[in-house]
Amino acid sequence: MSDSIEILRFATAGSVDDGKSTLIGRLLYDSKGIFLDQLETLENDSKSKNLKEIDLAHLTDGLKDEREQGITIDVAYRYFSTPKRKFIIADTPGHEEYTRNMFTGASNSSLAIILIDSRKGVLTQSKRHLYISYLLGIKNIIVAINKMDLVDYSREVFTNIREDFLKLSDDLSVNSINFIPISALKGDMIVDRGVNLPWYKGETLIHILENTKIYPEEDFSRSCFPVQLVSRVDNEEVKDFRGYMGMVTSGKFKIGDNIKILPGKKESKIENIIVSGEYSQEIDKSQSGTLLLKDELEISRGDVIASLDYELKINQTILSQICWMGEEGLKLKTKYIMKHSNKNSKIIINKVLNKINIESLKELESDEPFQMNDIGQVEIKIQNNIVYDTYESNKQLGSFIIIDIESNNTVAAGIIK
């Protein structure tokens, strides 16, 4: 493996029977990401069901119920590598009622594959998938138009679906959408080009996955480090040690940097840095580490260490986009827990401001409390000040979850606009 190998995390979304599991099975199978003994199990399964070809879909259906009912119940994670990249797939089920799974799978992805059945064209679900990808800041979208073998590999069908989809995405700022005609079942345009789509001059799916740019242009100013834990050690080997553990969510820090600690108004200087269990001169974005400061200050979990030039917002009431995931609908004026930037706070949701109509993707004014899968804007009041930024400029400081106090379930995901 080369030293510069990167990880691409991507989500796959499609409606029921779009062939999503088959596509993932195909990616694993053609890129040799599946083992012989797993294949033998598949062959036996397929034989016992009197199928002619092996059912690649069963490769990803990890639960007995899923295999028996032929549906995917929950997000599954799959791994494969090519010499260029390591891939982590979040395979998200397509059922309408499981939209929250798409949100879950896409939250850690930098690319989304939206599957469309060439016979059915763009569906409400495709819109939903596009919108969720957009909301979660996924800039790279691949629209894989599947089951081309069932429409005689027709160029016209492909072009029409592409036109429909582009109309849909007009209003959303998505950087790039790649359209690929594929047959997951037959293997066309996934890892190999196949011979059935001579009119398609674009790249194969795996080529795009291997070459898409993952990391945005790095902005090294505006550095930020939410504190996870405070470490104090004082024993015979380590004398009077006080460090702040966390992960750099934007920018970078080096010894000697002047910093501020929010939500208070304290300032200090970085005296030392630990990365990967060793003292270091600096720490980069996405690295876990420990910061040691020049002054002894009262800092706790949830506080944010930031560079002086970073204007973070501090407030007790925020407006936010949320996706409701709870079985029970949202209750206004009821206490919930919000986990944001490593910290749990009690909150109440004051009011609903609008709700997204998933057909038109437009915001409709509405004050009706959300039911499962509803997406829209709410006003939240928090028990204490929180330090935040918009999701777009700082994913970690702009996102949170809401937990129901009674059931302890995660009932909503929030994105601060």
With respect to other proteins, which residue has the nearer C-beta, 4 or 170? 4
Q: Minimum distance between the CB of residue 383 and other proteins, rounded to whole angstroms?
A: 16
Q: Which residue lies nearer to other proteins by CB, 235 or 365?
A: 235
Residue 9 CA from chain centroid, whole number? 8
We find the least distance from the C-beta atom of residue 98 to other proteins, in angstroms, to be 10
Closer by beta carbon to other proteins, 6 or else 271:
6
Q: Which two tokens stand for residue 287?
A: 């690295």
User: CB pairs under 8 A, 24+ apart, for 403-410?
Assistant: 403/336, 403/337, 403/338, 403/339, 403/344, 404/326, 404/328, 404/336, 404/337, 405/335, 405/336, 405/337, 409/326, 409/327, 410/325
Cβ closest to other proteins, residue 89 vs residue 157: 89
Shorter beta-carbon distance to other proteins: residue 132 or 259: 132
Shortest gap between Cβ of 118 and other proteins (angstroms)? Answer: 28
Distance, first Cα to last Cα, the chain: 40
CB of 317 to other proteins, least distance (A): 21
Q: How far is the CB of 351 from other proteins (least distance, A)?
A: 23
Q: How far is the CB of 231 from other proteins (least distance, A)?
A: 6
Instruction: Quote the CA–CA distance of 383 and 389 in Å, as a whole number.
Output: 18
Tokens of 188: 């066309």
Pairing of strands 343-357, 362-365: antiparallel
70: left (phi over 0), alpha (psi -120 to 50) or beta: left
The nearer residue to other proteins, 142 or 372, going by C-beta atoms, is 372
Cα angle 403, 409, 412 (rounded to 5 degrees) comes to 50
Q: What is the DSSP letter of 188?
A: B
- Cβ-proximal residues to 58 (8 Å cutoff; 6+ apart), any chain: 21, 25, 42, 45, 46, 67
Q: Give the whole-angstrom CA distance, residue 166 versus residue 81.
A: 31
Supply the minimum distance, in Å, between the C-beta of residue 195 and other proteins.
Answer: 28
Is-contact 395 215, C-beta < 8 A? no
Shortest approach of other proteins to residue 39 CB, angstroms? 9
What residue type is assigned to position 296 of the chain?
A: E
| 75 versus 157: smaller Cβ distance to other proteins | 75
Tell me the C-alpha distance between 285 and 292, whole Å. Answer: 17
Smallest gap, in angstroms, from Cβ of residue 31 to other proteins? 13
Report in angstroms how near the CB of residue 104 gets to other proteins at its nearest. 4
Nearer to other proteins, 54 or 145 (CB): 54
What is the C-alpha radius of gyration for the chain, rounded to an integer number of angstroms? 24
Min CB(76)–other proteins separation in Å: 5
Nearer to other proteins among residue 9 and residue 147 (C-beta) = 9
Q: CA nearest 342: which of 266, 399, 383, 394?
A: 399
Q: Which is nearer to other proteins, 63 or 308 (by Cβ)?
A: 63
Cα–Cα distance for residue pair 284/299, rounded to 1 Å = 22
> Which is closer to other proteins, CB of 63 or CB of 314?
63
Q: Which positions touch other proteins (CB under 8 A)?
A: 1, 3-7, 35-38, 59-65, 73-79, 81, 86, 88, 100-101, 103-104, 107-108, 228-229, 231, 233, 237-238, 241, 245-247, 274, 276-278, 286-288, 290, 301, 325, 337, 339-340, 342, 344, 395-396, 399-401, 403, 408-410, 413
Count CB atoms within 10 A of the CB of residue 1: 8
Nearest residue to 271 (alpha-carbon basis) of 245, 250, 294: 294
Distance CA 271, CA 49 (A): 66
